[in-house]
Amino acid sequence: MKHLDDRALAHVADYFRALSEPLRLKILNELRRGPRNVNQLTQMLACSQANVSKHLGVLSRFGLVARDAQGTAAYYRIADPAVYELCDLVCGRMANHLKSQADALHAFGTAPARPARSLSARPR
């Protein structure tokens, strides 16, 4: 990043903004299991078709998902599997950070100790 000009950095920031919406992350998690159409995603995520379509449009614009026509339906799939590496890295860092905070609070006797939970983005 250190050699990018302001315009390039703006594009990088836009990419991260595309990943900053929880519903978009949920869509990416659902597509991890395989291609889905808008109706399937709408049912799985319990939200409106318009909302899912809007978020798919953003993910598509940044090259994270691709659209394939199959008959009268369009199926969306992951176009850039590296996004999962990025999300897993961020989730791992967040888990470590939250565990450190909880450990520090516990050391000062201000919060009960709790076992760290995995924040992995991978559904099982």
How far apart are the two ends of the chain, measured CA to CA in Å?
34
Among candidate residues 57, 62, 122, the one with its CA nearest the CA of residue 89: 122
Q: Domain check: are 45 and 56 in the same one?
A: yes
List beta partners, residue 65: 78
Domain count, the chain: 2
Per-residue confidence at 109, pLDDT binned at 50, 70, 90? confident
Residue numbers of the domain that contains 69: 6-78
**Mean pLDDT along residues 34-62:** 96
What is the pTM for the complete model shown? 0.76
Q: What's 4's DSSP letter?
A: -
Same domain, 29 and 86: no
Mark whether 46 and 69 lie in a shared domain: yes
Is the predicted pLDDT of residue 43 greater than 90, yes or no?
yes
Q: Are residues 90 and 117 in the same domain?
A: yes
State the residue for tokens 């799985």. 44
Q: Do 90 and 74 have their domain in common?
A: no
